[in-house]
Amino acid sequence: MSHDYEKEYEAIKAQDPEIYETLIGEEERERTGIELIPSENYVSMATREAMGSVFTNKYSEGYPGRRYYGGQEFTDAMERIAIDRAKQLFKADYANVQPLGGAAANVAMYFALMSPGDTVLGMDLSHGGHLTHGHPTTEINQVFNFVRYKMKDVDTGEIDYEALREVALEHKPKIILAGFSAYSRELDYAKFKEIADEVGAYTVADVAHITGLIAAGVVKNPFDFGFDVMTMTTHKSLRGPRGGMIVVREDEGIAKKINKAVFPGMQGGPHMHQIAAKAVAFKEALDPSFKDYAAQILRNAKAMEKVFLDANVRLMAGGTDNHLLLADVHSSLDITGADAERVLDEVGITLNKNMIADEPRTAMEPSGIRFGTPAMTTRGMKEEQATRLAEIMIEVMQSKDDADKKAELQKEVQAMCEQFPVPEKFV
Ligand code: PLP
């Protein structure tokens, strides 16, 4: 049964037609195109209801049982449920569900574990690290000192652990940060932990992208290797609302510092509607069906990997062990990442241009594209569809000026969207 959007947005339509138009436009865009941005997904109607719920009215500064405002009977109960579910999902003793997003979670974590001027050893940004890992344009870069590790070989994705150790010994970082937004292999968490122990650093994994894969147990959980903290987003592979979270393996002292850094250190009133939506999504992720979903994400990524490798398209790290792929389309298909993003959009496939490791071009006209399978897998697509989509992507990039070809492929993409509608319920 398809959702009645007219009904859902009835009040907005009557009161604010301009915003109503944008909502319906986005509904249409999301349903009639294939979403391959690896950091995006579709939430269930239950999660959306919680996100648009009465909890948006409530101020709840503080934590359950210790708030600065009255009337917390239901917010306390709800946040406690969210925390319990988060702890179960990640095998954590402590969870802070209040960070507004992944960037906010990282900044709070830095202030919790360090003093200004201290050093973080993180993944080089051009090798897959995130802006919040100390990009020169970010404010946090003015507060803390960021040093880098890289891949040893960009065509296998192997991290240069020897160089990582040398940098750690030289700079004595307070935090060794594992984690990425454009890297497709598993990390050797045990190795990170060994080096961190040698220099007395905290181990933190920013698992923003692979949150759902860790929760489902289809990729490694850094806590199984003794990591101290994980920061994350809830809206990517975990399939929850836009938001952030910090979980702590077992150290109560660290958990207390994290709580203080989030509130009052960084944030004011928590977004209780967002926390309610997180709780709903966590319950969905605790359902056994979520494991099947996450395993299918990996199989679909492997199916796409095969098509690209068979067509001799260079994949960064040589392929993927997770949900995302990074292709050097400029050297392989003679198209820039920006042009690829644009022509694929014309046929209804959304992804993003991306710099490849040691990018020789510019950020706005890079060599690569980044794409991934969480959202298309939510639609119920399997290896057959992943394979065909990858073939279509290559055909489109090879026929970027052929209007007839693109029109034909757009119809095929459209038909796939109709065959695999965005579901409203996951459990
Ligand atoms: N950390 C990593 C590794 C990410 O990939 C992202 C988002 O892409 C973030 C942090 C920031 O998350 P947000 O956009 O929710 O602030």
Mapped onto helix, strand or coil, the DSSP state of residue 301 is: helix
**pLDDT attached to residue 212:** 98
- Please give the structure tokens belonging to residue 133: 């890992």
pLDDT of 2 strictly over 90: no
- How would residue 1 be classed by pLDDT, with cut points 50, 70 and 90? very low
- Could you tell me if the CB of 374 is within 6 A of ligand 1? no
242 among known catalytic residues: yes
Vertex 80 angle, CA 74 and 85, to 5°: 130
**Among 11, 13, 36, which Cα is nearest to 389's?**
36
Does residue 126 register a pLDDT over 90? no
**pLDDT value, residue 295:** 98
| pLDDT tens digits, 16-46 | 999 999 999 999 999 999 999 999 999 999 9
Kindly indicate whether the domain formed by 54-286 is annotated with CATH number 3.40.190.10. Answer: no
Indicate the domain borders of the chain: 54-286, 289-419
Q: Which fold has domain 289-419?
A: Aspartate Aminotransferase, domain 1 (3.90.1150)
Atom nearest to 206 CA in ligand 1 = 3
Share of the chain above pLDDT 70, in %: 100
Q: Answer whether 54-286 and 289-419 agree in fold.
A: no
How many angstroms separate the CA atoms of 405 and 403, rounded? Answer: 6
Residue 349 CA: distances (Å) to CA of 216, 378, 421: 27, 15, 15
Q: What is the mean pLDDT of the chain?
A: 97
What confidence tens digit (pLDDT) does each residue in 322-353 have?
A: 999 999 999 999 999 999 999 999 999 999 99
Instruction: Tell me what the mean pLDDT of segment 206-222 comes to.
Output: 98
Convert the pLDDT of each residue in 355-404 to its tens digit.
999 999 999 999 999 999 999 999 999 999 999 999 999 999 999 999 99
Which of 39, 107, 130 maximizes ligand 1 atoms within 8 Å of its Cβ, making it the mutation to test the pocket?
Answer: 130
Structure tokens at 227: 């990591």
The percent of residues in the chain predicted with pLDDT above 90, rounded, is: 97
206 is catalytic: yes
